[in-house]
Structure 1
Amino acid sequence: MVNIPNIITLIRIFLVPVFIMSVFYGKFKEALSIFFFAALSDALDGFLARKFNKVTMLGVILDPLADKALIDSGYFLLSYTGKYIPIWLTVIVLSRDVLILMGSWILSIFNKMDRIKPTYLGKATAFLQFFTLLATLLKLNCGFPNGSILGVLFFTTAIFTVASALQYTYRGIKELNGA
Structure 2
Amino acid sequence: MSIPNIITLGRILLVPIIIWAIASNQMEIAFAIFVIAGVSDAVDGFLAKRFNMASELGALLDPLADKALLVSIFVTLGIWGAVPIWLVILVVSRDIMIVGAVIVSWLFNKPVPMKPLLVSKLNTGAQVAFAALVLAALGFGFDSSPYEALLMAAIAILTLVSVSFYLVEWVRHMSTIDPQ
Which of the five TM-score ranges fits, normalised by the shorter chain? over 0.9
> What TM-score, normalized by structure 1, do the two folds share?
0.93
Q: Supply the distance in 2 between the matched residues of 1:158 and 1:130 (Cα, whole angstroms).
A: 14
Note closer, same or farther for the CA distance 1:112–1:126 as it changes in structure 2 (3 Å cut): farther
The answer on whether the counterparts of 2:8 and 2:62 sit within 8 Å (CA) in structure 1 is yes
Q: Supply the distance in 1 between the matched residues of 2:125 and 2:143 (Cα, whole angstroms).
A: 17
Deviation, structure 1 residue 162: 1.3
- What is the aligned residue count? 177
Q: Supply the distance in 1 between the matched residues of 2:15 and 2:72 (Cα, whole angstroms).
A: 8
Could you tell me which runs of 5 or more consecutive residues in structure 1 were left unpaired when the two chains were aligned: none
Deviation, structure 1 residue 88: 0.6
The answer on whether the counterparts of 2:26 and 2:139 sit within 8 Å (CA) in structure 1 is no
CA deviation digits over 1:125-155, x for unaligned, max 9?
Answer: 1111111100111111234452122111111
Could you tell me which runs of 5 or more consecutive residues in structure 2 were left unpaired when the two chains were aligned: none
Deviation, structure 1 residue 34: 0.3
Q: Supply the distance in 2 between the matched residues of 1:78 and 1:143 (Cα, whole angstroms).
A: 16
What amino acid sits opposite 1:119 in the alignment? L
**CA RMSD in angstroms, aligned pairs only:** 1.5
What amino acid sits opposite 1:152 in the alignment? L
> What TM-score, normalized by structure 2, do the two folds share?
0.92
Structure 2 match to 1:160: 158
Q: 1:100 aligns with which of 76, 98, 107?
A: 98
CA deviation digits over 1:53-72, x for unaligned, max 9?
Answer: 21112111111111111101
**Given the alignment of the two structures, is residue 65 of structure 1 paired with residue 39 of structure 2, yes or no?**
no
